[in-house]
Structure 1
C-alpha cells in the first residue's frame, strides 16, 4: 500500500493554493521536526527563514546516508522525507524558522519544535516526539505521575512568544509525544492565539489526566483537536482521551505501527479501519488498571530507579541500549543489586500486580468473547426454529 513517500510522488506537483492542506500533509510536517536542524534552521529571535530545499542541501552536506540508516530510532527516516519534500513543488519552498532542540538532563526534558510557513500563508507549528535520547524517553514516563512536564510548559511558552499578530491561520501538530505537546500548548496558550488555531493534530500521541480533559479550557479546544491512531496503537492509547479518534491502517504490526512511515495513504487521506485492534485495547486496559493501583509516589520511585540504573550504566541513547556490550548489562545488574530492600520490594510488588492485572484482563476478554458467541448461536437457533415453525404452519 501507499505511504507518505508515495503521497509526495503523487501530490508533490500541486501547491497548497491548488490543493488545500490535508491530514497527510500534517503527518509529513510532524515528521519534519525529527530532522536535526541545529545550525541550519534559524532559532527564535534570529532573523530570516530557510526553505525546505535549502535546509535539505545543508543537512545532507553534513550527514552521511549510511550513518543515518545505522541509527536504531524509527524516526531516522524523517531525513529521507525531507529529501523527498525538497523535490516537490508542494514543499520545496516552504519556509522553516523558529527551530529549537533543547535536551536537558537536569529538567528531564527533550523539547524540539520548528515552524513551517506554507505557500497559502498558513503556519504549521511542529512539535517533536521522543527522539533517540534516554532523557526524551524518561519524559514520556514522567507523564504518569506529573501534572505537567517541563516539555509541556516549554510548548506553551513557545506558542505564546513565537506567534505573531499577522499569523491568521495556525495549525499545531506532532507525532507521539509531540502530539501531546501540541494539544497541551493549544489548550493552555493565550486566548487570542487559540482563536487563530484552526486545527490541532495529535498523531498517535498519548492523552492526559482525567483532570485535564475535564477542564473548561480543554473542552473549549476540543472541537479543533484531531487525534489519529494506528490500529494497534500503544503510545497513543496511554492516559486519557475524550476526543474522538480516527484509526488508520498500518503495514506493520505491534509497536512498529507507531512508525508514521507505515501508515497507509489513499489519495489525500489515510486508509481507515473501524476501530483499534483488540490486543491494543487489552494492553491499554491492563496498563491503566495497573498504573492506577500504584500511588503517584510509587510511580515516581519506579521511574527514578529505572532511569538512574541506565544512567549509572552510561546508557544515554536508544542506540547505546541496543548496542550495549555484556559489560554494560552487568553494570545494569549491579545497579539493581544496590537498590534498597524497600525499592526492590516495590519493583517485585509492581511486577506481581502487572501480571495479575494482565491475567484478569485477558480472562475478562475471553469470557466476553464466549458470551458473544453463545448469544450469536442462540440467535441463529431462534431464527432457525422460527423458520421451521413457519414451514409447519404453511403445511
Structure 2
C-alpha cells in the first residue's frame, strides 16, 4: 500500500518550494508531536541526528516502529532533513485534569509548524478529553492558545499549525482564539481526525482549516455534527483507522472518498443527539463518577486497564452500584439515552 511513509520517500528530493506543503505533509507534521522530545538536548534537525538518536527519538512513542521508519526517510530527505525542532513543552497535572504537549518546528527560513500532541494512554488525558462534553475551556485548550501566541510573538515568519486527535482540536481552538494580527500569519491549520468541529464564525480563517477523517471515523465525529471534513480511505478496520499510517495515498495526495460510511454516520448522529439530550451538570456528574470508579481499580492508563479489562469492568460496575441514588440515576439515564439514540440513528441510516 502507498501510504505517508511511501509519500515521504517518493518526494524526498522535492523541496517545499518545488512541491508545495499539502495535506499529507500536514498529517506527517501532525504526527511529529508524539515523538520522544526528552531524548533531545536542545534545538536540532533530523540531518544532525545519528541513527541511534533517531531510534531513541521514536522509542516508547505511539506507533514507534512506523515513526522510526518515517524519521529515517525524513533524515535523508531534501524535503525534511533540515526541519529544526525548536521548543517542546509538556504540562501534566492530575489535579487540573491536564496533559498538554506541543512542539514548534522551523520548516525553512520563514515558515514554521506548531504541532499539538493527541491523546495518550493515561487516564488524566482521557478525562480531560471527556471534560470537553461540558467545558469549553479545558486547561489544554487554554495552554494551546498561550503557547501559539507566545511562539508567534517570538518569530516573524508564517506559521502552520496542526495535530492528530485531541491535538487537532487544540490546533483549531488556538487558531480561533489568538489575536487577529497573529491569525493573519497562519497559512493553514490541520485537524487530523480531531474530535470537534472546525466550523467557525470567523469567515476569514475558515478556508484555512482542513479536517481529515477516515471512512469509519469514530474519533473525529464524536463532537462534530457538521460535514466540514474530507474523508480519506483507510486500509484498516474500525478504530485502527484513527492511525494515519493506514491512510491510502495515490499520485502524491490522499485517496479521498465522497463521505464517511454508514456506521460512522450512525455513531456521529447518535452521539450528537445523545449529548444534546444531556445537561452539562449530568455530563459532569457522570464523567467525574466514572473516573473515580476507574481510579479505584488502581490503573492509571488505558493500556494497564486493558490487560485485565474483564475484572476492571466488573469493579467499575460494582462501584457504580454503590454510588448515591442521584448518581446511579445519572448512570441509568446516560446508558438508556445512548442506547435509544443509537437504535434511532441506526433505523434512520441503515437503508439509505
The correspondence for 2:171, drawn from 158, 166, 182, is: 182
> Quick check: 1:52 aligned with 2:46?
yes
> Quick check: 1:345 aligned with 2:329?
yes
The correspondence for 1:322, drawn from 297, 306, 311, is: 306
TM-score by length of 1: 0.82
RMSD: 2.5
Q: What is the alpha-carbon distance in structure 2 between the residues aligned to residue 278 and residue 155 of structure 1?
A: 34
Matched residue, 1:336: 320
Alignment check: 8 A CA contact 1:113 1:128 kept: yes
TM superposition shift of 1:183: 0.6
Matched residue, 2:16: 16
Once the two structures are superposed, the pairs formed by residues 1-395 of structure 1 within 5 Å of their partners are 1-40=1-40, 42=42, 49-54=43-48, 57=51, 59-60=53-54, 62=56, 68=60, 77-119=66-108, 121-164=110-153, 166-208=155-197, 213=199, 215=201, 218-240=202-224, 244-324=228-308, 331-366=315-350, 369=352
TM-score by length of 2: 0.91
Query: Which stretch of structure 1 is more off in the superposition, 120-129 or 268-277?
Result: 120-129
Rg comparison, structure with higher value:
1
Measured against aligned partners, the alpha-carbon deviations of 1:134-159 in whole angstroms (never above 9, x if no partner) come to 11111211111102211110011001
| Corresponding residue SS for 1:38 | helix
Matched residue, 1:379: none
| Corresponding residue SS for 1:163 | helix
Alignment check: 8 A CA contact 2:37 2:57 kept: no
Measured against aligned partners, the alpha-carbon deviations of 1:11-47 in whole angstroms (never above 9, x if no partner) come to 12222233221211111110011012125164xxxxx
TM superposition shift of 1:328: 5.0
After superposition, the Cα gap between the structure-2 partners of 1:60 and 1:311, relative to the gap in structure 1 and judged at 3 Å, is: farther
After superposition, the Cα gap between the structure-2 partners of 1:357 and 1:41, relative to the gap in structure 1 and judged at 3 Å, is: farther
TM superposition shift of 1:289: 0.9
| Corresponding residue SS for 1:123 | strand
Q: What is the alpha-carbon distance in structure 2 between the residues aligned to residue 56 and residue 154 of structure 1?
A: 33
After superposition, the Cα gap between the structure-2 partners of 1:334 and 1:355, relative to the gap in structure 1 and judged at 3 Å, is: closer
Alignment check: 8 A CA contact 2:223 2:271 kept: no
TM superposition shift of 1:196: 0.6
After superposition, the Cα gap between the structure-2 partners of 1:40 and 1:63, relative to the gap in structure 1 and judged at 3 Å, is: closer
TM superposition shift of 1:231: 1.1
Q: What is the alpha-carbon distance in structure 1 between the residues aligned to residue 182 and residue 58 of structure 2?
A: 40
Point out where structure 2 has 5 or more consecutive residues left out of the alignment: none
TM superposition shift of 1:59: 4.5
Alignment check: 8 A CA contact 2:165 2:193 kept: yes
